[in-house]
Structure 1
Amino acid sequence: MRKNVIVGQSGGPTAAINSSLAGVYRTAIDRGAKKVFGMIYGVQGLLEERYIDLSDHIKTELDIELLKRTPAAFLGSCRFKLPEIFEDKSVYEKIFEVLDKLEIEAFIYIGGNDSMDTIKKLSDYAIVTGHPTRFIGCPKTIDNDLALTDHTPGFGSAAKYIGTSMKEIIRDSFCLEYSKGLVTIVEIMGRNAGWLTGAVALSKGEDCEGPDLIYLPEIPFDMKAFCARIKDLLEEKNSVVVAVSEGIKLDNGEYVCSLGSTTDFVDAFGHKQLSGTAAFLANYVAGEFGCKTRAIELSTLQRSASHAASRVDILEAYQVGGAAVKAADEGDTGKMVVLQRLSDDPYQCGTEVKDVHKIANDEKLVPRKWVNKEGTYVTNDFVSYVKPLIQGDVSPVMVDGIPRHLYQPEELRTRRKTKK
């Protein structure tokens, strides 16, 4: 590489997102990049000319290892939707003005579906205007819903945490006996894709029977059938544990969480904020059966628990970061790095690049054949798909009994003062 590289992070963070950042930085330096800049708060920050020289923060091999083990987005993230080029050309002119100023040869964006939309638009503008900067997407999302890739970095670690947490919740639910039973409902992230929710099945084994019911957003949720199933289970056992996706919907398309909420917040991409599914169902079950209920939201813990990260996930995240730089250096643009599973036993996975136009704004859902006929549990094929992705551990660097992370840039730790 003869010039500079810039990298940004976008969307919801993961336990592995910074491992991809480390892969981008190390590979760019090894390939001769003069500087590697980091966007502060993604493309939204870039529009405000907010960026750092990563060499000021990554100075040793220990820093690389710390970064790989650091949760959340080291550079800060955003949910900024670029307008269509014909809607507001000035936004693109500003971005490319900054890229020219920094002499950027390669633009790497680490993110999920909406982030790939950003790569698509910027690469299209570069082609139309004849601009030499190359744009490559680096996959990241715990939702595992990006098209054309076997799986996404971040998913394996989240699945490992979810399977582990569910096992502990099930164990805890049997500690006390209640006269009318206990129903615990665990809410897991997932708007339209149930990959994360299905991961609770990993808790099932010789020492744990796993959750009683699993509800994914791909299958319409039937309240009547749900209550009937809960009734039957309470007659059989003292404790019932149910896993639900935050995005489960009724047959008419209405989110279950909306039944107990008056909020209607949406983000820049038009996504409705989902929360309260477990709380609504727990209250409903308590009212129907008079039993003890608990609602548990794993919330941000499932994407930030770097202490429980999968070694496979961290290694693959680093690998795709490096592959993104390599693709740009070799002339690719408007592409995303994808993971291609080569074998299950032993597990092997490689990388290649695919046209981002075939990925952006598309969603990979859990196949119907990987869910049982009743829509209340995932199949063994689902578990076999996920298991290789959660293998191995990444030992944290411990200091005084607490994991040490790479110190966050000051630009993220201090609030910007607005000019009057």
Structure 2
Amino acid sequence: MAAGLPGAAVAATAESTSAPGKPKVAGKEPLRPIVFVHGSQGSANQFQTQGKRFAANGYPSTYIDGLDYDSTFEVQKSAEIFAELDRKIDALLKKTGADKVDLLGHSLGTYMSQTYLKSDPARARRVAHYVNLDGLPASELPGGVKTLAIWGEGSPDRTVVGAKNVQFPGQGHTETVTSKESFAEAFTFFRGKAPRTTDVPLQLGLIQLAGRAVQFPSNVGLTGAKLELFRVNPRTGQRIGKAIGTQKLTGDGSFSFLANGISHYEFAITRPSGHVHHFYSQPARRTDRLIRLLTSEPGTGLDAVTDKSDNHVSVTVSRNKEWWGDQGAGSDSLTVNGTNVLNASTAPRTKRMLGIFAYDAGKDGESNLVQLPAFAGLPFIGGTDLFIQADPQGKGTVKVAQKQRNGRATETLNVPNWPSSKHRISIAFNDYLRQRWAATGCASTARPPC
């Protein structure tokens, strides 16, 4: 399926994508599998960057997993979610031969994790360390498990009594999951030593791109659709040749492809109705087993409130680090064909926005860059009126670029201008800054080409 893929990664730090047994990596604490539990409207993809950082510091990618659950509790109830977590821990312990797992929870996931640990001493005994990420305070260690509590912006009085409590007051709610600072704290807590790197270095050779296609926000697996992986031209977003892999989505929506760390790819989900959902992101750099393609049935959920036509493009741009549009020089920039869609209306810091929908509201061919009413009351999600001209065959290019707050480099993703009548476009940017940038904006930690 992936034989002959061009553009193999050119820098070191190799990692096997197969289970290697029990690796021997020096540290005061044994290397154990890791499980991440997300918060409301989240998924395991919020742990993608940290998973790669752990792998860059000696963890096999097969040791790093996340629990996807229905945070609306309409499809799943707590008891079912806890049973699923039991099964995931069982599988990890059997696969790795480890004595226990290390557990992390974020936001609502801290409530779920704390409740799980306190529900049964046998459950708590299988967890060596617990990290409480910007969520529920506690008057004692959950289940008696050794705990690290990391807090972002907000009240400095929040605490887990008996835990090591660390404050990052300049970081957003979800940023506490994905930042290099929280990674360093968690790694040191798990291993008893500091990490070798907090960067995401390139991995040698072929990598694995794996995960699940799921219905948002229930995280139920998508079934009965076709998933294709295409390599694309980074200058235009257009596909290069035929699909390098095709899989039928069944069951929990799982998929796996072989690729390389420096190429740009498009995941395309095609439904029996002919509707296509396109997913674009920056090069993966390393094996990523926590990819989540968040979708929904056409005409349902948020798709039902977005206007569509043959004439305009509809894009959703996301990042697992809040977009800030009202912080002056400390704001993020997110431009679509040169127009910055972040401002005090669309992305106030208090909204904690992780994803913005941009489309031609009213189908009038005009733009009005304010928060659309349908999105005003939603947490983590925003929407704005932006007209982007479509091409019937998606032969044109939409240029989407971010400049992260406190960062110097502009990162660009070019995608085809598919018409919104039959096509949805999701674009995901990195939540991290490369640690060193050359004048060209290329990561100097990697040998050219980068």
| TM-score normalised by the chain length of structure 1 | 0.29
**Which structure dedicates a bigger proportion of its chain to helix?**
1
| TM-score normalised by the chain length of structure 2 | 0.28
**Which structure dedicates a bigger proportion of its chain to strand?**
2
Taking CA–CA contacts closer than 8 Å with sequence separation of 6 or more, which of the two structures ends up with the larger relative contact order? 1
Bigger Cα Rg: 1
